[in-house]
Structure 1
């Protein structure tokens, strides 16, 4: 009888241990929202990008290999959405130290304003990319004082050409003049014609 109880107890412990170890290996199924068109391209920096245009949901892919100046890059691509009614994990929060970058109105047809807040003074670059990763427009490249910043944009590329409807990535790169860390902020804007 003691032997049976010990075996059942050991089996119970093994079951609990296997459940606990599998809890860290949960993988959510994902699917693609397909309302746009497929694009793939290699840009001037020999970076290959592909995706489906016209989407509103994307997934962050953390960089693992150095890409430029020994830095890794986080890429937002794939347009993936979790399957199901549930979400688990730790809620992500944006640090108030780095803030966020937004544009309003979004979506827009003729013009928009890109807004962000700098924690300290420093050198700022704000660029707009197409979904293939090519630079469409450099909105700002220079020094800015700390505080709230606004950059109006008329929806035209570097040559003055009007851009077509679609999703565009915009990115702020910030290098402070103080001892604060450099950072990048990214977001998606949508042009509707």
Structure 2
């Protein structure tokens, strides 16, 4: 069962998300937060698997709340950012804060449910309307702001690099296995090594590490 907390300052949005998510047999909505501070409190109290987090909320915004949740090593909660605004600055801030996924609120129910399940599984997600542009611009900003860090201290094997580059293309484990002519279990093994060596919480953050260090070409 995937346990979810919904954080949004609009009651009608919280209610709508709760109806959609709560209707699924493998998802349980365990709490609703009215702002970022409330979300942090609920996560610490309820220990959900996923938080569906709005960005623009009073008292504490979703970016600040995400940063607090991710920074707390006692928690094992991933954050899926849901927002009405297709604003690059918001996406970059969410990714830097450690969000495992980013989805526009205009997404259909199927996409929302898939995103929640993907984040809960440790796969991460980006709205398909944002992925290519955001990853490219994220890489450009990171490379322009500072020199790549940590590459020498976090070596990946040649096969792990192959897997990471295919992850950046948005391929699933099965698709990567087909591309590399290996078993899906082998892909999972290499993915586990990538996450451990890069200290990434999920696949999305591993890809961002690759872009930030220059290992992955986001162009």
Does TM, scored on the shorter chain, surpass 0.5?
no
Report the TM-score when normalising by structure 1: 0.27
Report the TM-score when normalising by structure 2: 0.25
Bigger RCO of structures 1 and 2 (CA < 8 A, at least 6 apart): 1
- Computing the radius of gyration from Cα coordinates, the structure with the larger value is 1
